[in-house]
Chains A and B, each alone.
Chain A
């Protein structure tokens, strides 16, 4: 009697496991398939393009083509790198200081202020893209790195403040107080004590900000024409009058994805792991 019940329970568990695995496999397939398809396409010759066989002679021709004239995708890679790099370099120090203030200091209207910062995230980009366009046109900043950095800072910084505050809230304050008593100024405390302790959090936030900026499309499309075109916008150039050049789009897609793959492995290593062990009882 109890034997059959145990067997039934075991069978039920097995079924649940099987369903779980099937769902996971399906999700994995849905996510990975386009990426694999893109990767394959990037290494195909145009003649093999619509061939569904997996066996073909791989070629680097597509990459050579996009880096050469008239495509010059190298310029877009450079623009994207400069814009994303500068945005992160400016945003992270500022956000760290802001998040520290929100996490540690008592101030009037703190809740309202913090909410306001977050609320800017909920404004749809299409609503502000035109005012931004007019603004930068009047300032003569259209098609410059500076314009894109400013816009991306506005997008990324509230998010970074919010994320860093979460990391900072989790760090015990005793070490900071010890440093204050030991003779450190508040800024020294942040540099010497706080940042090393939340370093993984800072790193993860920086990676998220980099990826957000790297992938930003709408503002880059509207605010640039030739000189400051970024990769996501650059890709659209492969839709020509002669049709969509799929093999070139795929090759550029690979370029865009490279930092994502590298940085996501950084996140994996540092997420959740803290540096606070041993500070307090």
Chain B
């Protein structure tokens, strides 16, 4: 029993509001990812759950109990800090073992649990070093091991993989996911890396400017972004967004760009979105739109084709064997079932009926 609830939580410093009237229900055992650009209030939200920051307004509940007035130690949480927060005068072993020491776990039992946690993040060989003798990635793993050495009711992880190299990041990511599944501990995970969010989360809260823009499963967030911000933030390369006019279910933009949207009840300025993987580059004359090749980039697993269609530049993701001359004429096919339409004024998504 450890749901975490935020009810109309606000955090302000003077006239600056870092988190604005935020409500969030995190279910028992859920892996919740807070995703957003730098400075959007992710760490602040997490610190309020931990009890390190007092909300200016609103309530925080853990397991149904209001914890606003409880000190961090009575909230039974474990946290990985964005800048580690290691104990510089202690060895790696003592760092990881400190939460156990505070709970009166002694001697061989503590040593065994410390070693098990260290093994999970490949730290066994470094147990007798001090933090200043470790690399950034190793320090981060010590912080991670210190959090997973015991079983709290809630895990809070603030960008715990940001300093690992690509290979270790992938393996530790899988480790975290497996561990969380195995322990079933409610987890709040902060990141600005959308791949991490997509791969780890049961649900993702996309934040901007201290507010949650969309809260849903990774699939829904990817397939039906709620507004222009979410649409542009999620996806790499980002979704193509074309400014234009919309009327009678038909979207048009300067230079002859057009598409059928299936949204009947909207007319006026709009933005059409289409993900690169939903755009197909076809031989000239065999598609919906005429275009010319602007650039071709091989990324390894795919080829990114930038084409000029009307006044707009569209990126398409093609097979990695795909090749074309810059400047040559092609045609574009847009996957009609995967077009996204947004109202230009409100930036909100317009759902086809």
A residues bordering B, Cβ < 8 Å? 172, 174-175, 177-185, 188, 192-193, 196-197, 199, 275-281
Chain B 76-117 interface residues, beta-carbon cutoff 8 Å to A: 77-79, 81, 83-89, 98-99, 102-103
Return chain B residues, CB-CB under 8 Å to A188: 102
Q: In this complex, what residue of A is CB-closest to B134?
A: A278
B136 within 8 A of A: yes
Segment with Cβ contacts to A, from B61-69, B125-133, B231-239: B125-133
User: Would B83 and A281 count as touching, CB distance under 8 A?
Assistant: yes
User: Would B99 and A280 count as touching, CB distance under 8 A?
Assistant: no
Q: In this complex, what residue of A is CB-closest to B129?
A: A278
B84 touches which of A179, A181, A182, A281 (Cβ 8 Å): A281
User: Would B83 and A275 count as touching, CB distance under 8 A?
Assistant: no
User: Would B102 and A278 count as touching, CB distance under 8 A?
Assistant: no
Per-residue interface assignment for chain B, residues 155 to 179, with 1 indicating a CB less than 8 Å from any chain A CB and 0 otherwise: 0100000010000000000000000
In the assembled complex, the CB of A138 is this many whole angstroms from the nearest CB of chain B, namely: 45
B residues bordering A, Cβ < 8 Å? 50-52, 71-73, 77-79, 81, 83-89, 98-99, 102-103, 130-134, 136, 139, 143, 146, 156, 163
User: Would B85 and A174 count as touching, CB distance under 8 A?
Assistant: yes
In the assembled complex, the CB of B161 is this many whole angstroms from the nearest CB of chain A, namely: 14
Complex Cα gap A182–B148 (Å): 11
B52 touches which of A172, A177, A182 (Cβ 8 Å): A177
Return chain B residues, CB-CB under 8 Å to A179: 87, 98
In the assembled complex, the CB of A180 is this many whole angstroms from the nearest CB of chain B, namely: 4
User: Would A275 and B88 count as touching, CB distance under 8 A?
Assistant: yes
Complex Cα gap A199–B98 (Å): 19
B86 touches which of A175, A196, A199, A275 (Cβ 8 Å): A175
A183 touches which of B73, B131, B139 (Cβ 8 Å): B73
User: Would B131 and A180 count as touching, CB distance under 8 A?
Assistant: no
User: Would A280 and B73 count as touching, CB distance under 8 A?
Assistant: no
In the assembled complex, the CB of B250 is this many whole angstroms from the nearest CB of chain A, namely: 52
User: Would B86 and A181 count as touching, CB distance under 8 A?
Assistant: no
Task: List the 5 shortest-distance A-B pairs measured between CB atoms, nearest first.
Answer: A278-B132, A278-B131, A178-B85, A174-B85, A277-B132
User: Would B86 and A178 count as touching, CB distance under 8 A?
Assistant: yes
Q: In this complex, what residue of A is CB-closest to B143?
A: A178
Q: In this complex, what residue of B is CB-closest to A186?
A: B71
Return chain A residues, CB-CB under 8 Å to B85: 174-175, 177-178, 279-280
Query: DSSP class of B's interface residues: helix, strand, loop or mixed?
Result: mixed
User: Would A178 and B131 count as touching, CB distance under 8 A?
Assistant: no
Q: In this complex, what residue of B is CB-closest to A180?
A: B72
Complex Cα gap A236–B139 (Å): 59
In the assembled complex, the CB of B286 is this many whole angstroms from the nearest CB of chain A, namely: 53
Return chain B residues, CB-CB under 8 Å to A182: 73, 78, 98-99, 102, 146
Return chain A residues, CB-CB under 8 Å to B133: 278
B87 touches which of A175, A180, A183 (Cβ 8 Å): A175
Return chain B residues, CB-CB under 8 Å to A174: 81, 83-85
Return chain A residues, CB-CB under 8 Å to B131: 277-279
B88 touches which of A180, A192, A279 (Cβ 8 Å): A279
A177 touches which of B81, B99, B130, B132 (Cβ 8 Å): B81
Complex Cα gap A177–B146 (Å): 13
Return chain B residues, CB-CB under 8 Å to A278: 86, 88, 130-134, 139
User: Would B89 and A178 count as touching, CB distance under 8 A?
Assistant: no
User: Would B77 and A181 count as touching, CB distance under 8 A?
Assistant: yes
A197 touches which of B71, B89, B103, B130 (Cβ 8 Å): B89
Complex Cα gap A276–B130 (Å): 11
Centre residue among A183, A185, A188, A278 by max chain B CB count within 10 A = A183
Q: In this complex, what residue of B is CB-closest to A177?
A: B52
Q: In this complex, what residue of B is CB-closest to A274?
A: B88
User: Would A178 and B81 count as touching, CB distance under 8 A?
Assistant: yes
Complex Cα gap A76–B143 (Å): 54
User: Would A183 and B89 count as touching, CB distance under 8 A?
Assistant: no
User: Would A279 and B84 count as touching, CB distance under 8 A?
Assistant: yes
Apart from A181-B73, A183-B102, A281-B136, what are 9 other A-B pairs with CB-CB below 8 Å?
Answer: A180-B52, A181-B51, A181-B77, A182-B98, A184-B73, A278-B131, A278-B132, A279-B86, A281-B83
Return chain B residues, CB-CB under 8 Å to A181: 50-52, 72-73, 77-79, 156
Return chain B residues, CB-CB under 8 Å to A178: 79, 81, 84-87, 143, 146
User: Would A275 and B72 count as touching, CB distance under 8 A?
Assistant: no
In the assembled complex, the CB of A189 is this many whole angstroms from the nearest CB of chain B, namely: 10
Return chain A residues, CB-CB under 8 Å to B98: 179, 182, 192
Complex Cα gap A185–B103 (Å): 12
Complex Cα gap A174–B158 (Å): 13
In the assembled complex, the CB of B138 is this many whole angstroms from the nearest CB of chain A, namely: 10
Return chain A residues, CB-CB under 8 Å to B146: 178, 182
Complex Cα gap A197–B132 (Å): 13
Complex Cα gap A277–B52 (Å): 23
